[in-house]
Structure 1
Amino acid sequence: MTVNQILSTKGKEVYSVLSTITVYEALGVMSEKNIGAILIIEDTELKGILSERDYARKIALKAKSSKKTFVYEIMEKEVVTVKPSDSLDYCMELMDSKRVRHLPVSENNTVIGIISISDVVKAIIEMQKATIKHLDSYISQ
């Protein structure tokens, strides 16, 4: 299974904010959209990603104010991306080695979607269920 197959199931909606808004405003968007990370896209270029983990470690634990801190101050600027043709195994390895839970999907230097560790795990479980069903059917014959 590939990243594109996950996107075809979950959709390709991408939520983004500008780096010049406050972390508090970005958290509001994340809460409204019920997402754990949001992309920072400016002039169609991916500039960074902000996750709940960034907020917890860079704002809450350091007793900073999310209303006085701007996204560009704490966002992750080195964003790990994948292509639609990449395999789920590759995504799992990447998420593990880079210690990230969200992977923007990029094609021709444009973000066309985002997948999370949850999306990948769900897809793998579904593939395993299908394999088990197929094997069970084969054994029963």
Structure 2
Amino acid sequence: MKLVDIIKEKGDVVYSVSADATVKDAVDTMVRENIGAVMVMDGKRPIGIFTERDLLKRVCAKCGVLSETPIKEVMTAGVICGSPDDDIQYAINVMTQHRIRHLPICDETGLKGLISIGDILKLMYKSTKEENKMLRNYISNQYPG
């Protein structure tokens, strides 16, 4: 299974803010859309990601003022991206190794989607559930043959 399959399943909508936005702008977007991360974009090019963890570690812990703190000062720069053709195991390895929960999916034209570890788990659970059902049907002789 490829990362593009996850994007097809969940959709390709990615919420973002510009580098000129404030932390409050990013937080407002995250709260409004009930999401844990926003991409920080320069046009179509991702230049960073801002997550709940960034908010806690880089803003709240330092008592920053949300409406005055530029997002570009607290975002995670040097974004690690996956490719639509990468497989899920590769994404799991990258996310585990780098201790990240969100992985932007990019190709040569730009950002294609954003997946979370939760998206991967949902897809894996669905696949395992379907496989389990087929095996139970096979064992109980209910498998179409």
> How would you bin the TM-score normalised by the shorter chain?
over 0.9
- Within the alignment, does 1:80 sit opposite 2:80 as a pair? yes
Using the TM superposition, give the Cα deviation of residue 7 of structure 1 relative to its aligned residue in structure 2, in angstroms.
1.0
Using the TM superposition, give the Cα deviation of residue 109 of structure 1 relative to its aligned residue in structure 2, in angstroms.
4.1
The aligned residue for residue 106 of structure 2 is: 106
Gaps of 5+ in 1: none
TM-score (norm 1): 0.95
Q: Residues 97-139 of structure 1, C-alpha deviation per residue, up to 9 Å, x if partnerless?
A: 0110111111214101110111001011111111111211221
The aligned residue for residue 137 of structure 1 is: 137
Large movers: runs of 4+ above 2 Å: none
Using the TM superposition, give the Cα deviation of residue 43 of structure 1 relative to its aligned residue in structure 2, in angstroms.
2.4
RMSD of Structure 2 on Structure 1 (CA): 1.1
Using the TM superposition, give the Cα deviation of residue 22 of structure 1 relative to its aligned residue in structure 2, in angstroms.
1.0
Gaps of 5+ in 2: none
Cα pair 2:17 2:25 within 8 Å, conserved:
no
Using the TM superposition, give the Cα deviation of residue 15 of structure 1 relative to its aligned residue in structure 2, in angstroms.
1.4
Q: Residues 58-108 of structure 1, C-alpha deviation per residue, up to 9 Å, x if partnerless?
A: 111111211221000010012111111111111111111011011111121
- Within the alignment, does 1:21 sit opposite 2:21 as a pair? yes
The structure whose Rg is larger is 2
* Amino acid corresponding to residue 118 of structure 1 in structure 2: G
- Within the alignment, does 1:69 sit opposite 2:44 as a pair? no
